[in-house]
Amino acid sequence: MQLSALPLSVLLSTGGGIIADLILPAFILIILTIAIFKKIDAYSAFLKGVKEGFLLFNDVFGSMLSMMFAINLLRISGLLDFVAGFFAQFITEIHPYLWAMMLFRPFSGTASLAIMVDIFKNLGVDSFSGIMASVIQGSTDTTLYVITLYFGCIGVKKIRNSLAIGLVSDVVGILVAILLTFWFYS
């Protein structure tokens, strides 16, 4: 089954990321046109929004610092790689690189993106592992980052079971990603 025959995908692949590049300017074009049409003071509104944005710094910096410290330690001490190697011993159909990527995915978007680029370079971007890495990266967002940022910004300390549920949904996303790639590409 070749899903790449979908018209949208063909359109996208012919121009690389042209569609992706169009979305943002199109959004701003529409919003600004409506604002001018409705005689809104768009310039003052923009400045007001920018000012509010900068106030976030105080709350966001502290929570991001504490989380980046813990994640850096997990990465540098080799603990996450050790756990990845442990899984890789038992299920050898999935490359050790991919195990590391899956473990990093909920904790650090930049780390899992870096591993994905490593996979592209060393195993090939169109290889089975390269495609699986792309699907996994797109299957979920960086849960810990989202929770740290959003709760940090309003000063919530007791996050109840939001992290647990977020991680459950990550596992589901990654699992579906793996199964789909095995189903359609091998």
Partner 1 sequence: MTLFWGSMILSSIVFGFCTGKISLISNTMVSVGSETLEFVLPLIAVTCFFNGIVEIAFQSGCIAWLEARMRPFLGFLLPDIRHDSETLGYVASNIVINMFGLGSAATPVGLKAIQGMQKHNLDKTVASRSMITFLVLNTGGVTLFPTSIIALRVAHHATDATSFIPFAVIATFSASFIGLIVDRWWNHR
Contact 141, 112 (CB under 8 A): no
Q: CA-based angle 42:44:49, to the nearest 5?
A: 95
> Is 163 an interacting residue with respect to partner 1 (CB under 8 A)?
yes
22 CB contacts (<8 Å, ≥6 apart)? none
Identify residues 102-121 at the interface with partner 1 (CB under 8 A).
106, 113, 116-117, 120-121
90 binds partner 1 (CB under 8 A): no
Question: Which region, judged by CB under 8 A, interacts with partner 1, from 60-68, 85-93, 96-104?
Answer: 60-68
Asked whether position 87 contacts partner 1 by CB under 8 A, the answer is: no
Min CB(69)–partner 1 separation in Å: 5
Kindly identify the residues of this chain, within the stretch 30-49, that bind partner 1 according to CB under 8 A: 30-32, 34-35, 38, 40-42, 45-49
* Residue 21 CB, nearest approach to partner 1 (Å): 8
Site for partner 1 contains 170 (CB under 8 A): yes
Nearest-angstrom CA–CA distance, 136 and 114: 13
Whether the Cβ atoms of residue 19 and residue 12 lie closer than 8 Å to each other: yes
**Residue 57 found at the interface with partner 1 (CB under 8 A):** yes
Between 87 and 162, name the residue whose CB sits nearer to partner 1: 162
CA distance 162 to 24: 30
The span from the CA of 121 to the CA of 152, in Å, is: 36
Choose which of 29, 85, 86, 156 interacts with partner 1 (CB under 8 A). Answer: 156
